Amino acid sequence: MTERDRFEAVYDAYYPAIYQYAARRTASPDDTADVISETFLAAWRRIGDVPEGERALLWLYGVARRVLANQQRGASRRAVLAERLRDELATERPTTPVELRHVRAAFDALPERDREVLALACWEGLTGDQIANVVGCTAVAARTRLHRARKRLAASLQQQSFPAPVMGEA
Partner 1 sequence: MNDIDNLVRAIDPAPRAPDHSPGARELRAAILAEDRGAPIAATRHAGRSGPRRLLLGLTAAAVLATGIVVGPSLLEDGSGVTPSYAVTKDSNGIVYVTVRDFSDAAGLRRQLRDLGVPAIVDHAPHGQKCQEPRGTYVEQIPAGLYSVPENIPGEARGPGWRMRIDTKLFRPGQTFVWTITDSPGGSSTSTILMTGPVAPCVLVPDDTRGKVETNPPYRVATLKDRTLAGLRVDEKTVGEVLPELEKRGLKVKFLIMGIAPGNPGGYGELRTQDTPVGDDWIVWEAEESTREDGVIRLLVTDKRYDRNPVYGGPRDDIIKE
Interface residues with partner 1 (CB under 8 A) are 1-5, 7-9, 11-12, 15-17, 19-20, 23-24, 36-37, 40-41, 44-45, 80-89, 92-94, 96-97, 100, 103-104, 107, 118-119, 121-123, 147, 150, 153-154, 157
Beta carbon of residue 146, minimum distance to partner 1 (angstroms, whole number)? 9
Task: Provide, rounded to whole angstroms, the least separation between the CB of residue 23 and partner 1.
Answer: 5
Angstrom distance (rounded) from CA 116 to CA 114: 5
Question: Distance (Å, rounded) from C-alpha 133 to C-alpha 105?
Answer: 28
User: Which CB sits closer to partner 1, 67 or 118?
Assistant: 118
Q: Identify the burial level of 126 via C-beta atoms within 10 angstroms of its C-beta, where 0-12 means exposed, 13-18 middle and 19 or more buried.
A: buried
Nearer to partner 1, 66 or 104 (CB): 104
92 or 169: CB nearest partner 1: 92
C-beta of residue 119 within 8 angstroms of C-beta of residue 24: yes
Closest distance of CB 170 from partner 1, Å: 28
CB of 166 to partner 1, least distance (A): 23
Between 66 and 78, whose beta carbon lies closer to partner 1?
A: 78
Pick the closer one to partner 1 by CB: 94 or 163: 94
Find the shortest distance in angstroms from Cβ 30 to partner 1. 12
